[in-house]
Structure 1
Amino acid sequence: MPTFSKSNLLLIFVLFFCFQSHASAAPNVYDLVKYGVKPNTGANMSTLVNSAIKQIVEEAGHNTAITIRFKKGRYDFYPEGAVRKEYYISNHDQDNPKIVGISLEHYNNISLDGQGADFIFHGRMLPISLIENKNLTLKNINIDFQQPQICQVKILENDIQAGTITYETAPWVTYTIKDSVFYNTGHNWEMRPVAGIVFEQDSKRIVYNTSDIAVGTSKVTEISKGVIKATNWKNPKLKAGMIVAMRSWQRPNPGIFVHKGENIKLNNVNVHYSEGMGLLAQLTNNIYLEKFNVTFRGKKDPRYFTAQADATHFSGCKGVIIARNGVYENMMDDAINIHGTYLKVLKKVNKNTVIAKYMHGQAYGFDWGYAADSVQFIQSKTMELFDNKNTIAAIEVLRQNPTDPIREFKIVFTKELDEQVDPQLMDIGIENLTWTPRVEFSKNLVRNNRARGALFSTPQPTIVKDNLFDHTSGTAILLCGDSNGWYETGSTRNILITNNTFINALTSQFQFTNAVISIYPEIPDLKSQKKYFHSNIKIENNKFETFDKPLLYAKSVDGITFKNNIISTNNDYPAFHWNKKEILFERVINAKIEGNTINGKPLSLPENSK
């Protein structure tokens, strides 16, 4: 008979206790089919699903750990009978009310398991909202729309001399032509496309050196059903067989909206289309993505696009953001964007008090901070931080009517403000440091999307590792910061970018795309800047496969390492970028560049990088 030491016995007891505690806390399982929620009926589920979930929670008891399961199959959600909510969603159009397919509000300890179910939405809807939940898991769910607001067409003929282009709409597209103007239509909506992204037919990659293009929606005639001739569309880069995703700039709803959550997990969730971000999370403490994908419906999917904007976007979150093993492809903006929001100081009331305001038209209507939050101030023109941090003693929303959206705040601080913190002297922004997250972005695939790959703007430790950035069209990784336009914070002070592979970034010109990795804060008056915005950036052991020159661009950085990176060049596309240097720095100090090779030889450094 075996003998055990006291330490071993103690370990066994602890493990047994943990197992028993876990077993006793195992959640109850509720099958929605027993509540009348059945797949593949074609019926409108907008009312039934929400009612059934509410009934289950009441039966189980609030805060009881439960799993709610769908039976695998298709569920259709229509605006008719859907929940209507007033939501102000960061980086989206602030139109209200939002029409919500599944609204989960104030639920704790719930796991919603789709078991591979397809949620198909009709019209203009916000598919899923997660509002003020704790310990909530969403898993095994596919989100899609019957008719996306992006209109996909195929180029049939381009008569460059005549200035006419003939195109064919995809089979699912419906449209109308009024006064020779083309409108894409759907369930209770119509939209005139104003711009487009053009894709290669076979690879589904964005066509080299095209970026955003004008589209032919005026002076059109219908040649036959689905075949349109545009007599006011000139673009010599468009060839027969190319696919154009014609779109507007509207972004009313993300696929999933998370607001004021805590410990939110999204596992094996696929967003195949949304008219905004795939996921938008704001004011959330700890969010975990495991196999969260913004992706096609398999290899045979006839579409060439996914989300209308970013795949994932996080605004004013704290705790941790972990995104692992995701696929982000063919969206109309970035794979991930993490930032806070600067308020602009409008008035200094006294030595401890200011009036401050949300400035951007897609960033207002929600809380910005709370008593005891730590803050810092920044000079907007030079993007220089004031030395002294402060703490919120009290914060009050200012508005004329109780129903007005949140825009302005009266903020009282625990310590007296610096004398220079005065909007009569300069433009000043405020950053909330408490609501900044630690980040891990690892083992993800980003490919064939518009604009940029990944954006990180947090002073907390950030690690970007083991990812593949494949034909991101613009910059693969961007570190920015802006207190003048989007008002998106803030300085990155501790980031490690390692073991990533970058394949043919920079095939088109987009904003901030100065190199494969672009460190580009918006600084209107760089010449007057004395301090540095970003710091402690490490880029190590990555692989770059590129057809063009620029690898790394950095501006206003104190402390950057570019080490042991392997670069190989190819002839997949003609080099065209304006930046002809592998490494280009503006106001950078304490740079360490060593051990890098290009085509097997040491990478030489330009003068401004030494």
Structure 2
Amino acid sequence: MINSLYKIVAVFIFFATINSNANEIINIKHAEGDMTLVVREAIEKAKTKDIKLVFEKGNYFFKTDYAVGKFLYVTNHGNGFKKIIFNFEKFNSVEIEGNDSEFIFRGQTLPFVFDGLHKVDVKNITIDWDIPFSFQGDVTAVNEKEQWYELKPYTKGFSWKLSKGRIEFPGINHFNFTSLGSSLPHNKETKAVDYGAWDASLESNFVEKRPNGILRFYDKNLKKYPRVGSVLQSKGDKLNNRYAPAFLTRNSKNIEFNNVTIHHALGMGFLFERSEDIKILNSGIYIREGSDRVMSIVADATHFANCKGDILIEGCRLEGMYDDGTNVHGTYVEVKEILNDKTVRITLMHDQQMGFEFAGINDEVWFIKQPNPQRAEINTVTAVKVINDYYTDVTFKNEIPAGLKTGDLLENKTWNPTFTMRKNIIRDHRARNIIIKTPKKIIIEDNDLSSMMSSIMLRGETFYWFESGNVEEVIIRNNRFVDCATGGSEHAILKVSPRLGKSFDDTITYDRNITFENNFIETFDNRIIWADRVDGLIIKGNRIKQTNTFKVQFPDAYMFDLTHCKNVEISKNSYSGDNKNILKADEASKKELKFKSNKGLK
């Protein structure tokens, strides 16, 4: 039956090989049914290393039965065996022209892999899943005393079942989440994360079927109950809910995504590893118009791990994802053992970094020696010997620095990008709009931003995620911030807060040269800038207006809060509102602080 179906589909597929500008053009006509094997064979039968796939406009459906299967290490996701629909390896260049087609996927799949390419160009496609890997329901009742809440679960377009007192979902290709896991309540009208919401990991002790399609969830471990009238959305347990991004691009360069829309994915939207010169233009990650889903993708909209060159995100709409709008970072590795005067054994520290390529030959590396978190000596890599997914031996051109010891850190100097983000809309999602850790120039301008947590966060960290490192030049200008930090935890419009271990001196400055100017801020809460260990911070020409959209959550917090900072200037800003807690600075921050020519700020 499958072979017959494929033959029928194949009749409608026309592959035309044309040599034009060194590209082999493969035209794919629209057909009904599973297109996975058709696309796979088109790619595998390519005669050259430079190909262009051109899709006739239509809706294309992809199942995983005949997908490429392979074990992959995927940073910030679960490592393991992945089903890949579009597998692009061993090519020089790949172009995809979607002609405004929709690609609909079913089941656990990593749709696109680009690995080792000199050019990637993808345009004019929309991707989605017919059945999302999520569970959601309207909150109809809550009883905190008896430790239960009730949901009326969504059924149309969702897949789940109640089995032995537990919810299982989605039940596709023999995979189920057996707990609700990572969950948040949402505003039913706006679909934004609910005001005052906290992240919750739900392990319901028992689920009881009630009349009229209602389910009662008993959970004696729940600390904060969802609001009646909200929509509770769950994406499954942490171990399994980051299967793969929609687009994985690694070891590649000259990359452009233009007019690419993602409505759902089983991890991040766009993930880049050790790649360079990247553009994401006029694209989007958001919930399909008319859908009653409240989550788009499971994790970050865009994510860049140890990339270099120039990165540009422009004219994009990022909404509904369950993590950051963008995350740009390097990777700290820990010194496990000093083998000789030129060789160290390093270890990756987070379970979702296992197998990540930290450094290659000729890469320059910084040494960070405790208790000082600042970058110190530089050395060049001459040899890399991978022991396994945890450990790697790295040999350097010169002797390793004196005083280096087990537990100190290494950071790759070569693989850091310049980063520009302009004219984007980022809102109605979990976590931060933007989180960045690169020492090269960062420009964030002319964006519309609204966040659950801090809108912009600058945070290198030497534990948990081990994402390096400190920033050296940041310009945040002409942006519009509207009611940011609506979640239940305490955040700010801009939060600069290195998260370093106890072995580091928390009085030494870490980030530097940050300019926050000419932004327009409408905020219901107090905090605007919350900065720790910054050398060089200019807050200038911003207009701040207090709103009454929500109740102030942290009335004792300060608008500008400085700890262990140097060379701070707060000038020519204006404020309208009744917040009296304007400036808090410790003794170190006061020494070189300039506070002048501000209106409405006393």
The two structures have a TM-score, normalised by structure 1, of: 0.87
**CA offset at residue 542 of structure 1?**
0.7
Deviations 1:446-488 (A, max 9, x none): 1011111101100111111111112x11100000111222111
Between the aligned partners of 1:122 and 1:335, the Cα distance in structure 2 is 25
**Counterpart AA for 1:244:** L
Q: Does 1:75 align with 2:71?
A: no
Summarize the alignment of residues 107-122 of structure 1 with structure 2, pairs less than 5 Å apart: 107-122=91-106
Instruction: Tell me which of 520, 524, 539 is aligned to 2:497.
Output: 520
**Cα–Cα, structure 1 residues 382 and 524, in superposed 2: closer, same or farther, change >3 Å?**
farther
Between the aligned partners of 1:529 and 1:345, the Cα distance in structure 2 is 21
**Counterpart AA for 1:31:** N
Between the aligned partners of 2:498 and 2:262, the Cα distance in structure 1 is 30
**Counterpart AA for 1:310:** D
**Counterpart AA for 2:185:** V
Q: Counterpart of 2:176?
A: 190
Q: Counterpart of 1:209?
A: 196
The alignment-based identity, stated in percent, is: 26
Summarize the alignment of residues 117-516 of structure 1 with structure 2, pairs less than 5 Å apart: 117-159=101-143, 162-170=146-154, 171-188=156-173, 189-191=175-177, 192-213=179-200, 215=202, 217-223=204-210, 226-232=213-219, 238-248=226-236, 249=238, 250-298=241-289, 300-379=290-369, 382-386=372-376, 388-399=377-388, 406-423=389-406, 427-470=407-450, 472-510=451-489, 514-516=491-493
**Cα–Cα, structure 1 residues 156 and 134, in superposed 2: closer, same or farther, change >3 Å?**
same
Task: Say whether the 8 Å CA contact 1:69–1:112 is kept in structure 2.
Answer: yes
Q: Which stretch shifts more, 546-555 or 241-250?
A: 241-250
Structure 2 counterpart SS, 1:364: coil
Between the aligned partners of 1:199 and 1:600, the Cα distance in structure 2 is 28
Structure 2 counterpart SS, 1:383: coil
Structure 2 counterpart SS, 1:153: strand
Q: Counterpart of 1:17?
A: none
Task: Say whether the 8 Å CA contact 1:517–1:553 is kept in structure 2.
Answer: yes
Structure 1 counterpart SS, 2:402: coil
Task: Say whether the 8 Å CA contact 2:265–2:298 is kept in structure 1.
Answer: yes
**CA offset at residue 159 of structure 1?**
4.5
Q: Which stretch shifts more, 411-420 or 486-495?
A: 411-420
**Cα–Cα, structure 1 residues 348 and 216, in superposed 2: closer, same or farther, change >3 Å?**
closer
Between the aligned partners of 1:362 and 1:473, the Cα distance in structure 2 is 24
Between the aligned partners of 1:411 and 1:236, the Cα distance in structure 2 is 47
**CA offset at residue 533 of structure 1?**
1.2
**Counterpart AA for 1:452:** R
Q: Counterpart of 1:6?
A: none
**Counterpart AA for 1:146:** D
Task: Say whether the 8 Å CA contact 2:121–2:256 is kept in structure 1.
Answer: yes
Task: Say whether the 8 Å CA contact 2:558–2:582 is kept in structure 1.
Answer: no
**CA offset at residue 410 of structure 1?**
1.4
Q: Counterpart of 1:555?
A: 532
**CA offset at residue 173 of structure 1?**
2.0
Between the aligned partners of 1:175 and 1:26, the Cα distance in structure 2 is 49
Instruction: Tell me which of 572, 584, 591 is aligned to 2:568.
Output: 591
Deviations 1:375-397 (A, max 9, x none): 111135552332x2111122221
**Counterpart AA for 1:549:** N
RMSD: 2.4
Structure 1 counterpart SS, 2:160: strand
**Cα–Cα, structure 1 residues 487 and 236, in superposed 2: closer, same or farther, change >3 Å?**
closer
Structure 1 counterpart SS, 2:167: strand
**CA offset at residue 201 of structure 1?**
1.1
**CA offset at residue 217 of structure 1?**
3.9
**Counterpart AA for 2:399:** E
**Cα–Cα, structure 1 residues 540 and 501, in superposed 2: closer, same or farther, change >3 Å?**
same
Task: Say whether the 8 Å CA contact 2:562–2:584 is kept in structure 1.
Answer: no
Task: Say whether the 8 Å CA contact 1:380–1:483 is kept in structure 2.
Answer: no
Task: Say whether the 8 Å CA contact 2:373–2:505 is kept in structure 1.
Answer: no
Task: Say whether the 8 Å CA contact 1:515–1:579 is kept in structure 2.
Answer: no
**Cα–Cα, structure 1 residues 578 and 417, in superposed 2: closer, same or farther, change >3 Å?**
farther
Structure 2 counterpart SS, 1:97: strand
**Counterpart AA for 1:148:** P
Deviations 1:90-127 (A, max 9, x none): 11111x21111211222233320111111111111111
Between the aligned partners of 2:327 and 2:554, the Cα distance in structure 1 is 24
**Cα–Cα, structure 1 residues 381 and 177, in superposed 2: closer, same or farther, change >3 Å?**
farther
The unaligned stretches of length 5 or more in structure 1 are 1-22, 400-405
**Counterpart AA for 2:28:** L
The unaligned stretches of length 5 or more in structure 2 are 1-18, 594-602
**Counterpart AA for 2:365:** V
Task: Say whether the 8 Å CA contact 1:342–1:487 is kept in structure 2.
Answer: yes
**CA offset at residue 578 of structure 1?**
7.2
**Cα–Cα, structure 1 residues 365 and 238, in superposed 2: closer, same or farther, change >3 Å?**
closer
